[in-house]
Amino acid sequence: MLSSNTWRTLCSRRALLSPNRLLMNRKAGQATVRFSVNTKSLNDVSFAKQDSWRNNTIRKALGNEKKRIFSAHVVFLRNYSTSHIKLNCWKCKQPLENDPAFFCLACKVVQPPEEGTSYFKIMDCDYSFSLDTLKLQRRYVQLQRSLHPDNFSQKSVEEQKYSEIQSALVNKAYKTLLKPLSRGLYMLELQGMRIEEGTDSEADSQFLMELMEINEFLNEAQTAREAEQIGGDVKGKLTDLTKRIDAALLKGDLAAAKALLAQMKYYANIEEKVKQKLSEFM
């Protein structure tokens, strides 16, 4: 026996597949109401209005249910991708169980990377700006121990090629996700947004003046202690920006996250200049 919830869902789906049937029933209902008004007494008209109200209520309920099912179907299509389709091993042709599959569990042969797999998935990290960097580092070490090309020097040409590609991909994924700036820019890129080079004209004039002052102080620094103080101030700015970017991404405010990441790029550049300045005092 079908449960009441299952029965309602099937009926709603049938209504979606046969909209003409609902339309015919609706027209029939309307015709019945018109006939009652023209042939019955005024007392009967009140009952006809009640029936009409009930019919409208039922139609609204069916409409809401259709919208719910349609929305769920759209969400399913949006989340669906080729990554849900199981691939086969290039050598033994057996299905690959893991996703992403670095090795075939059946023949233990290294596999080529699957196109379109995100860095978050490769590194087994949550899709979050505030990800666990310690977990990221452990995953990196684990993958490189098994995928490093040195492990495949005595293997076939195909295995050597795939190990080099996989190892390089893991390196790139690790470096991208390790630092907040590159991680945030990558998250924007996944959403189809980029911060173009040479966008100083879009920056706030007061913000640009502040950057110029910091650069001047850094250039005029006479001791390592002065450079370290400037570096500490810049690090504080970067920490604050990291929190604000994380909050913006959690809210889904990509425009705000993009503006904050643009500021982070400037401060990250100054941070590198501080490191260069400190090397001059060694």
Query: What CA–CA distance (Å, rounded) separates 160 from 147?
Result: 10
Report residue 88: phi and psi, to 5°: -110, 150
Do 111 and 101 meet the contact criterion of CB atoms below 8 Å apart?
yes
Q: What is the pLDDT of residues 28-40, one digit of tens each?
A: 444 333 333 444 4
Percentage with pLDDT > 70 across the chain = 68
Q: pLDDT tens for residues 241-281?
A: 999 999 999 999 999 999 999 999 999 999 999 999 999 99
pLDDT at 86: 78
Tokens 């110029």 correspond to what residue?
212
Asked whether the predicted pLDDT for residue 100 surpasses 80, the reply is yes
Q: What is the pLDDT of residue 56?
A: 62
Q: Do domains 87-178 and 205-280 have the same CATH topology?
A: no
* Digit-coded pLDDT (tens) for 135-169: 999 999 999 999 999 999 999 999 999 999 999 99
Does residue 119 have a pLDDT over 80? yes
The C-alpha atoms of residue 230 and residue 267 are separated, in whole angstroms, by 11
Q: Give the per-residue pLDDT at 13.
A: 42
Q: Which residue has the higher pLDDT, 140 or 66?
A: 140
Domain parsing of the chain, residue ranges: 87-178, 205-280
In total, the chain counts a number of residues equal to 282
This prediction's pTM: 0.68
Q: Could you tell me the CATH superfamily of domain 205-280? A: HscB, C-terminal domain (1.20.1280.20)
What integer pLDDT is reported at residue 210 of this predicted model? Answer: 94
- Higher pLDDT among residues 251 and 55, named by residue: 251
List, for residues 184-226, the tens digit of each pLDDT value.
Answer: 999 999 999 998 876 555 678 899 999 999 999 999 999 999 9
> Which is higher by pLDDT, 86 or 137?
137
The pLDDT score that the predictor gives to residue 282 is: 87
As given in the structure block, the two tokens for residue 136 are 């990221």
Architecture of domain 87-178: Orthogonal Bundle (1.10)
- Written as one string, the DSSP assignment of the chain is ---HHHHHHHHHHHHHH-HHHHHHHHHHHHHHHHHHHHHS-HHHHHHHHHHHHHHHHHHHHHHHHHHHHHHHHHHHHHH--GGGSPPB-TTT-PBP-SSS-SB-TTT--B-PPPTT--HHHHTT--S-TT--HHHHHHHHHHHHHHH-GGGGTTS-HHHHHHHHHHHHHHHHHHHHHHSHHHHHHHHHHHTT----SS-GGGS-HHHHHHHHHHHHHHHH--SHHHHHHHHHHHHHHHHHHHHHHHHHHHHT-HHHHHHHHHHHHHHHHHHHHHHHHHHHT-
Angle (CA) 137 142 144, round 5°:
95
Residue 18: per-residue pLDDT: 44
